[in-house]
Structure 1
Amino acid sequence: MITFIVSILILIGGYFIYSKVVEKIFGIDDHRATPAYTKNDGLDYMPMNWVKATLIQLLNIAGLGPIFGAILGALYGPVAFIWIVIGCLFAGAVHDYFSGMLSVKHGGEQYPSLVGRYLGKHVKSIINLISLILMILVAAAFTAGPAQLVEQLTPLSYTASLLFIFVYFVLAAVLPINKLIGRIYPIFGLILIIMAVSIGFALFFMDYSIPNITLENLHPKELPLWPLLMVTISCGAISGFHSTQSPILARTLKKESEGRKVFFGAMIAEGIIALIWAAAGMTFFGGTEGLQGALAEGGAAGVVNEISKTTLGQFGGILAVLGVIILPITTGDTALRSSRMMLVELLGRYGKTNYRFKTAFMTIPVIIPTYLLTQMDYSFLWRYVGWTNQVVATVMLWTAAMYLLQHAKFHWICSIPALFMTAVTSSYIFYAPEGFHLSYELSMIYGSIIFLAVLGWFIYQIYTYKNKSISLENAA
C-alpha cells in the first residue's frame, strides 16, 4: 500500500517540479503568437481553453491504454509500479511535451514533419509509413473490441455496430475540432478520471492489500521482465501514439505556457490512472496467479468489468460499460483524425485543392484499411500495435534530443530516455513472437549491437555540433 501511495505522490510532485525544468530547457515565449491564431482555419486551428484542451488530450492519449496495458503489466507484480513512475515522469511526459511544443514551434506540424526537420528526410519517409500504419492499427484495435461489446449488449450485429462506429469516425475526423471533439470529449475525459479515482478509493477497502515494492518478477508464465514490461505498459509510461495526438491540441493552445499543463500534465494524469489499474489488477484477484486466471477467462475487458461491478456496484457497472465502449472509440477516432492530418500535410504540396475538400477526401484512404482490419482477430492486431508504438516513441525522443543538441540546450533529458527506449525496441523485436522469435540470449545480443550502433551515431552528432559551436564562436 505504501508503494502505491508514494508512487502517486512522486508523479504529482514530478509534475510541479520536473515539468518546470523541462519547460525551462525547451524555452517558451508567451509573446509569440501560437498556430491557433496565426493559422486559424475554423477546422483544426482554433484557440481553446487549456482546461478543455487538457481533458481532450487525456482522452486522446489514454482511452483504454492505461487500463488494459496496466492490468496486463500487473502480471509482473509490484515492479510494474517502478516502470510506470520512472517511465511516465522521465520518458513519457517529456516525450509528450516535446511532441506538442515542437509542433507549436513549427506551426502545428505533424509528427512525421517534425522528425524530418531534425532527423532528415530519409527517416521522415520511413516514419510517415510507420506512423500511418500505427494509426490504422490503433483505430482498428480500438474499434473491434467496442463493436463486439455493443453486439452483446444490444440487438445490433457486429457489422451493424462497426458501421455505426465508422459513421461517427468520419464525423469526428472531418468536423471542426470545436463542434464534436471540443464539446463531448471533456465530458468523457471526466468519466475516465472519475472511473479511475473511484477504483483508487475502493482499493483501500479490498480484502487484499496492495503489495509493496519488490524487484522480483512474479509473472505466472515466467515471461522475462526486460523488455516485455516496457512494451506491455506503454500508455501510462511512454507511448508513441501520443506524439501523433499532441499536434491536434498544439493547434489549439492560446499561449506556449499552456503546453506544460496540456501535454506534461495529461501524461502525468495518465500515469496515475495506470498506477490505479495496475494496483487493482495485482490486488483484486489475490495475486498475479489469480489475475492470470481472470484474464484467461474474460480478457482485460472482463477484468475491468468484474473489478468495477464488485467494488462500485451498479455505478461501477455503468462506468465499466461506458469505459470499455466509449473510451476506445474516442481513441480510434482521433487516431484517424491525426492520420488524416498527416496525409493532408504530406500531400499538401500537390495542387491547390480546396482544403476542406482535401480533408474529407483524405479520410477515405485511412477509413477503408481500418475497417478491413477490424475483421481480423483483436489479439493479433494488438500484438503489432505494441512494438510499432514504442518505435514511434523512440524516434520522437531522438527528434527532441536532436532539437536540443542543435540549439545547444541540455539534451540529456531526451537523449537518455531515447537510448533506453532504443534498447527496449531493438531487443524486443528479436525476441517477441510477432518479431523474429529468437532465443532470449540471441535477442539480447542483437539488440545490444543495434543499441551500440545508435549510441555511436549520437556520440558522433554530439561531436559534430560541438565543433560547429566552437567554429561559430571563433568566427565571432
Structure 2
Amino acid sequence: MSGLLIVGVCIALFLIAYVTYGSYIVKQLDLDDNRKTPAHTEQDGVDYVPTKSPVLLGHHFASIAGASPIVGPITAAVFGWIPALIWIVLGNIFIGAVHDITALVASVRHKGKSIGMIIQDSIGVSGKKLFNLFAWLTLVLIVAAFLIITANTFVAEPAAGTASLLFIIVAVLYGFFVYRRNVPTLPATIIGIVALFACIAVGLAFPISLSQSTWVLLMMVYIVIASIAPVWILLQPRDYLNSFLLYSLMIGAVVGLVLTNPTIQFSGFSGFKTDLGYLFPVLFVTIACGAVSGFHSLVASGTTSKQLNKESDAKLLGYGAMLIEGLLAVIALITAAMLIPADYSNLMKNGGPVALFSAGVGQFMTTLGIPLAIGKSFSALVVSAFALTTLDTATRLGRFIFAEYFDQEAKETGKAAPSVLTNKWVGTVATAGAGGLLALSGQWAAIWPIFGSANQLLGAIALLAVSVWLAKMGKSNWYTKYPMYFMFAVTFTALVTLVWGNLTKGNYLISIFGVALLILSVLLGSLANKSLKNIAVGRNSGKSQKTTA
C-alpha cells in the first residue's frame, strides 16, 4: 500500500467533508454575521480582542494541536494502521470537528463564556459546578502530560530548548509592534517568520542542555507568567507565528511523501488485544486529539470565542482547524506505518513517539535536499513549540475555570468569595503547580492513558452540554447527541479499566483522579438527562395545549 495514496485520499475526504457536512452543521447553527460577537460587545483589550481569521486560526490551531495528534496515532499504530486510520478520518469528520464548531458557536452565543456557563444555562448551577471541577482536573492532567512531553523533547533535542526561548522574545516583539505601534500584519508576519527560522538556526548552533526536572520547573514559571499576560502580547502572536512552523512541517512532509512515496510496511490489523490493551476502548482514547478532544471545547469557549471577529469565521476555526489536525494525525501515522515492526518497537523504546515522528518527517525532507539531522531537529522543534503552546493555553483556561467556580460559590451563598480564591495569580499557580507535581512524580506511563480518557470524556460532556443547549432552543441535535453517546461508552469503559489497573499497581494518586472524574461525569450525566426529559415534557405539553385549543 502506498503512503502517498493514503494521504491523498484523506485530504480529499476532509475537503469533501468541509464543503458538505461542515456546511450542513453551519446551516443548523444559523450563523449570522449581523450578530455582533463577544469580541466586539465585550471588548476589553486583554481577553476580548476582535481578531482577523488568519491570525485567530493560527492561535486556535496552535492551541488545539500540540503534540497529541502526533503521539496518539503513533502509539495506537500497534493495533494496525487500518483501524487507526479509520478512527482518525471518521472521528474527525463526524465527531471531532462537530464538537469543536458547536462548542465555539455555543460559547459565542453566551458572550464568550465557558462551556461551564452554557451548562449552567441549560442544565443548572449544580451542573456547572460539577463541570468546572471535572474540567479543572482534566486541565491539570493536560499540563502534567505536556510538561513531560516538552521537557523530554528539550532533553533529547537541546536545540529545541534554545529556539523555544527565543520564540518567546520574537512573539512579544510581534505583539508589541502590531498591536501598539500599528505595524501592518503582512510585513510583521514576514519579518516574524524570518525571525523564527533564525531562532532555529541559533538553537542548532547553541543548544541548551538541562535535566528534565530543570526544564519542568522552568516551564512552570513560564506558563504562570504567560497565562496571566494579555493575549495580544504573547499568547496570540506566538501561536500565530508558530502555526507557520507547523504549516511548513506539514507541507514539507506532504511534498516529501510525494517524492518518496513510501510503502506501508506495518500490519494493517494486529488484533483486538495488544500490549496497550483491547482495541475497544484503548484505540479510541489513545488517538485523542487526532480524532476528537475535549480540550478543544475549552480552547474554543475559553479563548477563541472571545476573539472571533464574525460568526461565519466559526466554520474555518471550528470545523476546518480540526480537519487540519486530522491531516497531521494521518501524517504521523504514516511515519510509523512505513517502518517494519522491529524498527518501530526500537524507536518507541529508545526515543518515543516524538523521536519516531521527527525521524520519519526528517527522512521525507531529505528528498528536498534538507540534511536528515536538520530535518529531525526541525521536526522536534515544531512539536515542542506546539506542546508549549498547549501548556500555557491550558493553564490560562485553568485560571478562568478556577475563578469561575468560586465566583459561583459566592453567588449561591450570597457572600463575597475570598479575594484570594478568585485572584488570577492563585488560580494560575494552583493549575500549574498541581500539573507540575504530577509531571515531577515520574509516572508518565500512568499519566498519558488517563489523560487521554479524561480528555475524551470531557469531549463527551461538551457534546452533552451542546445537545441540551440545542434542544432547549428547539433545534435538531442528532449530530451532537449520537456522537456523545458513543464517546461516553468509550471513555467510561476506559476510565474504569485504568482506575482498576492503577489501583493494582499502587498508583493511588492517579487512581484518585480517575475515580473523581468518573463520579463527576455520572452526576453531570444524570442532571443533563433530567434536563432533556424536562425539555421533552415541556415541548409535548405545548403540543397538547395547541391540539386542545
Q: TM-score over 0.5 for the alignment?
A: yes
- Other-structure match for 2:146: 142
Mapped partners of 1:263, 1:314: distance in 2: 35
Mapped partners of 1:289, 1:354: distance in 2: 57
Letter of the structure 2 residue corresponding to residue 253 of structure 1:
L
- Other-structure match for 2:452: 386
Measure how far apart 1:458 and its partner are: 9.1
Structure 1's 468 and 188: CA in aligned 2 closer, same or farther, altered over 3 A?
A: farther
The worse-fitting range, judged by mean Cα deviation, of 16-25 and 375-384 is: 375-384
Mapped partners of 2:343, 2:274: distance in 1: 9
Measure how far apart 1:256 and its partner are: 0.9
Between the aligned residues of both structures, percent identity stands at 27
The question of whether the paired residues in 1 share the 8 Å contact of 2:294 and 2:458 is answered with yes
Runs of 5+ consecutive residues of structure 1 not aligned to the other structure: 439-449
- Other-structure match for 1:278: 333
1:41 partner SS: coil
1:51 partner SS: helix
The question of whether the paired residues in 2 share the 8 Å contact of 1:79 and 1:217 is answered with no
Structure 1's 338 and 459: CA in aligned 2 closer, same or farther, altered over 3 A?
A: closer
- Other-structure match for 1:442: none
Structure 1's 116 and 327: CA in aligned 2 closer, same or farther, altered over 3 A?
A: same
Matched, 1:410 2:463: no
The question of whether the paired residues in 2 share the 8 Å contact of 1:75 and 1:282 is answered with no
The question of whether the paired residues in 2 share the 8 Å contact of 1:7 and 1:81 is answered with no
**Root-mean-square deviation (Å):** 3.0
Matched, 1:29 2:84: no
2:13 partner SS: helix
Structure 1's 394 and 8: CA in aligned 2 closer, same or farther, altered over 3 A?
A: same
- Other-structure match for 1:160: 214
Mapped partners of 2:290, 2:212: distance in 1: 30
Measure how far apart 1:36 and its partner are: 0.7
Query: Quick one: which of 235, 244, 251 aligns to 1:197?
Result: 251
Structure 1's 423 and 39: CA in aligned 2 closer, same or farther, altered over 3 A?
A: same
Mapped partners of 1:29, 1:203: distance in 2: 40
Residues 212-241 of structure 1 deviation map (CA, whole Å, 9 limit, x = unaligned):
996674876484221111101010200111
Matched, 1:50 2:53: yes
Query: Quick one: which of 452, 467, 470 aligns to 2:543?
Result: 470
Matched, 1:396 2:482: no
Mapped partners of 1:208, 1:269: distance in 2: 22
Mapped partners of 2:405, 2:276: distance in 1: 44
2:104 partner SS: helix
TM-score by length of 1: 0.88
Matched, 1:376 2:428: no
1:234 partner SS: coil
Write out aligned runs for 1:100-139 (5 A): 100-139=104-143
Structure 1's 267 and 375: CA in aligned 2 closer, same or farther, altered over 3 A?
A: same
Mapped partners of 2:490, 2:531: distance in 1: 17
Measure how far apart 1:469 and its partner are: 4.4
Structure 1's 293 and 116: CA in aligned 2 closer, same or farther, altered over 3 A?
A: farther
- Other-structure match for 2:317: 262
Structure 1's 468 and 321: CA in aligned 2 closer, same or farther, altered over 3 A?
A: same
TM-score by length of 2: 0.77
Structure 1's 374 and 456: CA in aligned 2 closer, same or farther, altered over 3 A?
A: closer
Query: Quick one: which of 226, 229, 245 aligns to 2:283?
Result: 229
Mapped partners of 1:267, 1:372: distance in 2: 31
1:226 partner SS: helix
Measure how far apart 1:265 and its partner are: 1.1
Letter of the structure 2 residue corresponding to residue 470 of structure 1:
K
The question of whether the paired residues in 2 share the 8 Å contact of 1:71 and 1:300 is answered with yes
The question of whether the paired residues in 2 share the 8 Å contact of 1:383 and 1:434 is answered with no
Structure 1's 191 and 218: CA in aligned 2 closer, same or farther, altered over 3 A?
A: farther
- Other-structure match for 1:70: 73
The question of whether the paired residues in 2 share the 8 Å contact of 1:75 and 1:218 is answered with no
- Other-structure match for 2:177: none
Letter of the structure 1 residue corresponding to residue 59 of structure 2:
I
Structure 1's 157 and 109: CA in aligned 2 closer, same or farther, altered over 3 A?
A: same
Residues 376-425 of structure 1 deviation map (CA, whole Å, 9 limit, x = unaligned):
22222212201111111111111111122222222111011011112112
Write out aligned runs for 1:175-254 (5 A): 175-206=229-260, 208-210=262-264, 217=271, 221=275, 223-247=277-301, 248-254=303-309
Mapped partners of 1:408, 1:395: distance in 2: 20
Letter of the structure 2 residue corresponding to residue 143 of structure 1:
L
Mapped partners of 2:27, 2:40: distance in 1: 24
Residues 273-331 of structure 1 deviation map (CA, whole Å, 9 limit, x = unaligned):
11111122111x12x45423321232112212322333322441232231242221111
1:143 partner SS: helix
Residues 229-278 of structure 1 deviation map (CA, whole Å, 9 limit, x = unaligned):
11010102001111111121100011111111111111111011111111
The question of whether the paired residues in 2 share the 8 Å contact of 1:147 and 1:162 is answered with yes
Residues 61-112 of structure 1 deviation map (CA, whole Å, 9 limit, x = unaligned):
1110101111112222222111111100110011011111111100111122
The question of whether the paired residues in 1 share the 8 Å contact of 2:358 and 2:377 is answered with no
